[in-house]
Each structure stands twice: as structure tokens, then as C-alpha cells.
Structure 1
Amino acid sequence: MKNFSELSEQELLALAITLEEEDNRIYTAYAYRLRDDYPDTARMLTAMADEESEHRHHLLDLYRAKFGDFIPLIRRQDVKGFVERRPVWLAPTLGIDKVRDQVGVMEAETRRFYLRAAQQSRDAAIRQLLGDLAAEESRHETRAGELEATLVPAGVRAQESEAQRRLFVLQIVQPGLAGLMDGSVSTLAPLFAAAFATLNSWETLLVGLAAAIGAGISMGFAEALSDNGSLTGRGSPLLRGLICGAMTTLGGLGHALPYLIPDFHTATALAVAVVLVELGLIAWIRKRYMDTPLVSAVLQVVLGGVLVFLTGILIGSA
């Protein structure tokens, strides 16, 4: 690995060509990944990829004039000082805000590279081109905002934000909410049945742990196997399964853990309080993300929870 200051002018140009090729392909990849959900932002990214391709052609023309046709392969990872880029474009899900942030970072980094390379070069033609490209990258940052304003007007941006919200609801909120509801409600009956049958905190805790973990494993597999997300847009089945399973377990553990308290009556009072908090949280999530009126959400969740709770008490007290 070389220090930046050790690069020759030939190597500086070769590295610049590689960087422009990389940026062009990244923007193209972003555009390809976003084309279905965010078509206007995809057009903006395609326009930026075309500009990077134009920069590359300018660099190639000067390189051939100075050094011939052979271009050594020099990449950012071969030179000390470059910030390592996380392969965001390879992530299973690609948030539009993350893409826009990454684009800004890429443009700023490329501009700094050209400024330093121009300062290091002693060849007038190379120095001029690198300086021009630094200025172009600076304008590119501004142009990215202009392109976004032109190709992604306010109404479209609002639509894309709404589309992103819908994807978040489909891929994260829905499986998480399903798990939390199942874990918080379905485990009430076995937990409180055990509680009132044994009047023993430790034994009740064991039943609660078994119910919570077992339900989490079951719900996780059920969600992951429900569909692969290719047609429904619900995203990675593995991610959905993990979210659903984790939230199911968490929902069941919430009212099981109070039975760590040895005193049975204190533990039961605390467990009932936790159940009320869980049901309130579920109702709020349904209102916030599922557009369910708060009164309807509270009635649906609380009514179901109370029925299961009473079922557990009746069975345990029999």
C-alpha cells in the first residue's frame, strides 16, 4: 500500500480513472435498485452516473496523450488515506435517505482527492485537468441538489417518503407488531394459569420463559416461511422472521420476568402492570403505523388481552 504523496503523476491519473469508474458503477447500482420504488430519484442518479462517465473520458484522453494505452490498476484500497466505503449498495434493503447521504459523501471525497492530486502534480496539463475536475465535483455537489429539485420535485419527494414509510411498515413494523401482539397476548393464558394454579413465583417464571421463547421460535419460523417478499414487497424473509421472533419473545418475557420476585403477590401485581403497558404500547403502534383509530385500537387490543388474561385465571383457579 502506497502513501498518497508517493504516487507519480501517471499513478494519480490511473487512480482518478478508477475512482470515476467506481462512482459511475455505484450510482448506476443505486439507480437500478431504486428504479421501482423511487423512479425519479433513480433518474437523478442515472444523470449523475453519466457525468462521472464524462469525467472518466476526459481523464482517459489526457492519460493516453501523456502515458499511452496501458493503465495500471490502482484502487482506493491500494493507497493510504482513503476512507473505507461500506458497500451500502449491496445491502438487502436500501433506504433512500441513506443513498442521498452516501452520494453527498462520495462527491465531497472525490473533490478532496482532486484538490490534493492537483497540488501534488507538476505537469501543467495534468494539474489543470485535476483542478478543473475538483471544481466540477464541487459544482456536482450543488448540481446534485439542483437535479434533485428538477427530477425529484416536492410532490414526488413526498410520494417517495410515503413509499419509504410503507416499505418500513411492511418490512419492519408489521412483523414486529405481529410478534409483539402474539407474545404479549397469547402467553397471558399459560402464564397466569400457572400463577394461580401454583401460587409460586419460580414455577410461574419457568412456564412464562417456556411460553415466551417457544412462541418466539414458532412465530419467527412462521413469518420467515410465509412468503419470500419477491411479490409482496415485504423484504427479506430472514429479517422479518428475526424481527417477529424477537418481538414475540420480548412480549412474552415482559410479564414473565416480574416473577423473578420471590413474593408471589408482589410479582403478580407487577406482571399485571406490565401487561397494561404492553397493551397500551401495541395500541399506540397500531395507531401510529397502521392508521387504526386510537379508540378502536385500544378496544381491540385491550379486549383481546383481557379475555386471554381471564381465561388464564379461570383455568389456573379451577
Structure 2
Amino acid sequence: MLSRVFGFSRRPFDSLSEQEILALAISSEEDDGRIYRAYAAGLRDSFPQSAKVFDDMADEEDRHRTALIEAHRRRFGDTIPLIRREHVRGYYERKPDWLVRPLGIEKVRAAAEDMEEQAHRFYMEAAKRTTDASTRKLLGDLAAAEQGHQSLARQLGLTHTPESVKDDERQTERRQRILTYIQPGLAGLMDGSVSTLAPIFAAAFATQDTWQTFLVGLSASVGAGISMGFTEAAHDDGKLSGRGSPVKRGLASGIMTAIGGLGHALPYLIPHFWTATTVAIAVVFVELWAIAFIQNRYMDTPFLRAAFQVVLGGSLVFAAGVLIGNA
């Protein structure tokens, strides 16, 4: 286990023979081609023009791989040693597409440019270690190609994704982010912040016991979070509505619901009742205005209307809790 973590079982790059360097280059080009095709497949439904960019980049990697295989066949025969980037100490790593794709289209383009830069550095070092003239020329040509294509994603984007298309893609990505994360999270935050006001402050003024009040707030917040999370995940699978993964929406809604309630429950960990209550009321004030801001920022709700709805509703629930607690 430790040998894998610290790279003791890996070969130093300087120890590779010329045949192993060619084999490493071939496997790297194969992996990069697969990654680009995975990017294209992941983007095709929502961003078809950008998917073409990565299709073209995968074709470019295939041409590099073919040239490298021909060089290996000419010098060393048809049997290519099995050596991959994870076998070489200090060699660059690639993030799998499932780690990059959720980060958004701009992050995927940036990842592609990093891949080209890393490949350029590899070919430069590989060319220095090669004595065969034709192989060295091939590696040098590939280094130059990778250097020229460090901005290949951007250059191909000019062909397939002009600014008008990029604007559309950014709007599509923003809309999907709102539907999958922000809208369910906002609904959860509103429910958690507002619905727990009455039980928490009713318990506070009825008992004037900060620990008991905290337990009521904790149970109400966690219970509401679980309920909202399951409800959001279960009522819509996202296939027809286009709202995205029900698991992601359920987590966003459930977590934000719990946070909304815990915000004004946590102050009751303070032993002094009136100090805890003052802090809790201040937190409620911040929560309600934060909800109004998010509605205005992401849901295009006029700020004054959002503030009126949220603050008025929250104030009514807060007043109900105080009245019940003092009854």
C-alpha cells in the first residue's frame, strides 16, 4: 500500500528505454483519445457544438498514435510493451471524465488545454532521450504539434462554437445548474428557515431552557431535511422535466433545509437564554435577507417583492412561535 502511495513501485522516467518511451507515448495517446471521446459523449446532448470540438481532438490523438505505432514497428517490431503513465514515477496524470464533466463546459475546455501542455512537455523530454534520428524527429514534431495545439480546444471552438453558440451553451448550463441545485436548494433553505421558526421559538419561550430548545431545533431541522430531501428526489425523476438527477436535487434540498433550521437552532448552545435568543433572531434576519437575495440573483424575482414575501412570511411564523411559547 505504501509503495503505491509513495510511488516506490514505479519506474523513474530516466530509466526507460527508447522502446519503452515509444510504448508510453502510444498508450498516452490512446488514453487521451478515449478521454476526449468521453468528453464529447458527455457534452453531446446539451452542447452538441462543443462535442464536435472534442471529437476533432480525439481524431488528432488518433493520428499521433498511428505515427508512433509506425515508428515502433519500424524500429522494434509489432510487439509493443505494456507500459502506462501510472507505471512511471512523476509522469502526469489524467482526471477521468466523470471527475471533470460535472464541473462545466469551461472547466472541460481548460482540462483539455492542460492535457495538451502536459503532452508537449513529455514529448520534449522524450526527444532528448532518443538517439535514432527519425524517432527523434517524430517526437520533436509531436512536441511542436502539441505546443501549437495547447489552445486546440479554443482554436477548434472558433470553428464549432462561435460566441453566439457559446452564449447559448452558457445559458443552458446556467439553467441546468439552477434547476438541479439552486432551485431545490432555495426551496429547502426557505422551508428550513421559515418552518422551523415556530417550533424553535415556541420551545424557547415556553421553557427558557437553551439546551431543550436546541434539541427541539436540531430534531426539527434534521427531520425537515430528511423529509424535503426524499420528497424532492421521489416526486420527479428529471427525465421529462429536464431538472437533472433526483439524487442531486434531493441532496441539495435536504442539506439546505437542515442548514436553514440549524442556523437559528445553534445559537441555543449558548447557556444564557436572552443572549442565545438575541443571536438566534439576528441569524433569522440574515437568513431571510439571504433568501431574498438568492431569489433575486438566480430566480429573477424583483428584490423588493422577494424581500416582502420572505420577510413578511418569516415574521408571521416567528410571531406565531413567540405567541404560542408565551401562551
Task: Return the TM-score normalized by structure 2.
Answer: 0.92
**Residue of structure 2 in register with 1:165 after alignment:** 174
Contact kept in structure 2, 1:30 and 1:99, CA below 8 Å: yes
**Residue of structure 2 in register with 1:30 after alignment:** 39
Q: 1:92 to 1:234 in 2, by over 3 A?
A: farther
- Which segments of 5 or more consecutive residues in structure 2 lack a partner in the other structure? 1-9
| 1:51-84 CA-partner distances (Å, limit 9, x unpaired) | 1111111112222222222212211111112123
Count of matched residue positions in the alignment of Structure 1 and Structure 2: 318
Bigger Cα displacement from structure 2, 81-90 vs 156-165? 81-90
| 1:17-40 CA-partner distances (Å, limit 9, x unpaired) | 111111111101101100111111
Equivalent in 304, 315, 318 of residue 306 of structure 1: 315
CA RMSD of aligned residues (A): 1.7
Q: Does 1:69 align with 2:63?
A: no
Equivalent in 265, 270, 284 of residue 275 of structure 1: 284
**Residue of structure 2 in register with 1:86 after alignment:** 95
Contact kept in structure 2, 1:26 and 1:89, CA below 8 Å: no
**Residue of structure 2 in register with 1:111 after alignment:** 120
Partners of 1:264 and 1:110 lie apart in 2 by 63
Q: Does 1:262 align with 2:271?
A: yes
Offset of residue 265 of structure 1: 2.7
Q: Percent identity?
A: 58
Offset of residue 292 of structure 1: 0.6
Partners of 2:31 and 2:308 lie apart in 1 by 55
Partners of 2:267 and 2:155 lie apart in 1 by 56
Offset of residue 258 of structure 1: 2.0
Bigger Cα displacement from structure 2, 230-239 vs 293-302? 230-239
| 1:78-121 CA-partner distances (Å, limit 9, x unpaired) | 11121232224456735112211110111011111111111100
For the residue of structure 2 that corresponds to 1:141, the secondary structure is coil
Offset of residue 152 of structure 1: 1.2
Task: Return the TM-score normalized by structure 1.
Answer: 0.94
Q: 1:168 to 1:151 in 2, by over 3 A?
A: same
**Residue of structure 1 in register with 2:29 after alignment:** 20
For the residue of structure 1 that corresponds to 2:141, the secondary structure is helix
Partners of 1:91 and 1:100 lie apart in 2 by 10
**Residue of structure 2 in register with 1:192 after alignment:** 201
- Matches of residues 1-318 of structure 1 in structure 2 within 5 Å? 1-89=10-98, 93-318=102-327
Partners of 1:196 and 1:45 lie apart in 2 by 62
- Which segments of 5 or more consecutive residues in structure 1 lack a partner in the other structure? none
Contact kept in structure 2, 1:93 and 1:235, CA below 8 Å: no
Partners of 2:48 and 2:71 lie apart in 1 by 35
Offset of residue 273 of structure 1: 1.8
- Given residue 311 of structure 2, which amino acid in structure 1 is its aligned partner? V
Contact kept in structure 2, 1:255 and 1:275, CA below 8 Å: yes
